[in-house]
Amino acid sequence: MRNESEIPFEDNPFKIPVADRLKRLPPYLFGKINKLKYQKRVAGIDVIDLGMGNPTDAPDPLIIEKMTEALQDPRNHRYSVANGIYNLRKEVSARYFKKYGVRLDPNDEVIACIGSKEGFSHMCLALMGPGDTAIVPAPSFPIHVYSVVLASGNVIALDVRDPAKFLSNVAYTCEHLFPKPKVVLVNFPHNPSSTCIEQDFYVELVKLAKKYGFLVISDFAYADVCYEGYKAPSFLATPGALDVGCEFTTMSKGYSMAGWRIGFCCGNKEMVRALATIKGYYDYGIFQAIQIAAIVAMRHSEAAVESMAVEYQQRRDVLVSGLQRLGWEVEAPKAGMFLWAKIPEPYAKMGSIDFAMKLLDEGGVAVSPGRGFGPEGEGYLRLAIVENSQRLRQAVRAIAKCTKQEPVAVGT
């Protein structure tokens, strides 16, 4: 267990008197790697970029066509509505019913966000303040920790790689912490570890939420990227979930619309209302042409989403088998866009940041060091399967060369 409130206040790194909340943010651990990646690119050196879950494939042409058409209508260039237009919220509600059997009222149980990250951050701002504590999964996707920190809340990060143990640690923390945690954040399929769960996990979580009085936020960003028949469960499909929590989904991953910035928060009416209140002050909603194209995407592009998941599965298999042949310890995830790989033994002592720098510097392959996801991530790398299979094979060859690891048949 780690307590992020113990992060020391840094001396002000700015030349102006910024707010204390900014000083609570630690140095950005991906900074060194991003700088080297940028320098290589500027020098015209090819980098195979497995650093971020940022899809490289274009969305379904149908979505782009609708967007192009919507751009021609002057009405779509005005401010939209902060909550998202009604037909978009209705479509989100229809999709939840079709996919998960969950009934949501588009009026007060669905809100559109400028990407789920924006929605999540503002939800934390709406719910958390000084003295409030959130439990978040560890290793941690940075925004899960820092949106709580920016809202002046405290963070308790619990290892999520054994989900049953995570639940018992949540219960233990609730028994022993005073005041009790206000929010528990979950994220399955998990970024970065790709840990997955079944619905019974959420049944237990709802029970705990009711017993200890915390709110649940489920980050369901990788809902649409599942493999070999695995269907990631929605938190909202759990009986009682709407009483205690909400769920964020996004069009960034499954629909390859990351740059469009569109996601959703659905669930508990009061949580949705709290987010809507903050958003009402902060923004005027997503560009309306994007909202219209997103409606069409949800209505007509399900097949494209499914075939993209099959593509990711093939990439997963290429990278997993390639790395296993080099002797790496890495499992094929059931869902999500990441491999969570243990640093191979000869390099384990080097630490994940230096090893990732070596792969980038000598091999031209960018990956994320596990340490960037908190101390629990040390000893691991996160590799995003966002490049095509040919580029992934090329990445394995480059890694083999710069680590001087000979490919062997798996199982020998």
Ligand X SMILES: Cc1ncc(COP(=O)(O)O)c(C=O)c1O
Binding footprint of ligand X on the chain (CB under 6 A): 53, 115-117, 141, 187, 191, 219, 221, 250, 252, 258, 263
Shortest reach from residue 71's CB to ligand X, in Å: 22
How does DSSP classify residue 335?
B
Task: Closer to ligand X by CB, 206 or 223: give it.
Answer: 223
Task: Closer to ligand X by CB, 201 or 403: give it.
Answer: 201
Phi, psi (rounded to 5 degrees) for 122:
-75, -30
Task: Closer to ligand X by CB, 115 or 369: give it.
Answer: 115
Pairs from 28-33 (Cβ < 8 Å, separation ≥ 24): 29/353, 29/369, 29/371, 29/372, 30/368, 30/369, 30/372, 32/353, 32/357, 33/353, 33/356, 33/357, 33/360, 33/366, 33/368, 33/369
Shortest reach from residue 314's CB to ligand X, in Å: 21
**Strand pairing report for 263-267 and 110-113:** antiparallel
- The structure tokens listed for 92 are 């989100």
Shortest reach from residue 215's CB to ligand X, in Å: 18
Query: Would you report the helix, strand and coil content of the chain in percent, each value rounded to 5?
Result: 50, 15, 40
d(CA 257, CA 261): 7
What's CA 367's distance to the chain center, in Å? Answer: 16
Shortest reach from residue 375's CB to ligand X, in Å: 19
Task: Closer to ligand X by CB, 150 or 174: give it.
Answer: 150
Shortest reach from residue 39's CB to ligand X, in Å: 24
Shortest reach from residue 76's CB to ligand X, in Å: 21
Task: Closer to ligand X by CB, 211 or 231: give it.
Answer: 231
Task: Closer to ligand X by CB, 174 or 338: give it.
Answer: 338
d(CA 367, CA 303): 30
